[in-house]
Structure 1
Amino acid sequence: MNEKSYTELMKLGAMKRNQLKENFVQDLYIDMLLSEIQLTVEKEKLLRKIDSAIDSRDKRSFLLLSGQLKDINKRFGT
Structure 2
Amino acid sequence: MKEKSYTELMKSGAMNPKRAKEAFMVNLYVDMILSEALLKSEKEKLSLQIDQAIDKKDKKTFLKLSTQYIELNERFGT
With normalisation by structure 2, the TM-score equals 0.80
Query: 1:19 and 1:65, CA in 2 relative to 1: closer, same or farther beyond 3 A?
Result: same
| CA radius of gyration, larger in | 1
Structure 1 equivalent of residue 8 of structure 2: none
Percent identity (aligned): 55
Kindly indicate whether the alpha-carbon contact (under 8 Å) linking 2:14 and 2:20 is maintained by their aligned counterparts in 1.
no
Stretches of structure 1 lacking an aligned partner (at least 5 in a row): 1-12
Stretches of structure 2 lacking an aligned partner (at least 5 in a row): 1-12
State the Cα RMSD in Å. Answer: 1.7
Structure 1 equivalent of residue 66 of structure 2: 66
Runs of 4+ in 1 over 3 A off after TM superposition: none
With normalisation by structure 1, the TM-score equals 0.80
- Aligned AA for 1:69? Y
The number of residues matched between the two structures is 66
Structure 1 equivalent of residue 49 of structure 2: 49
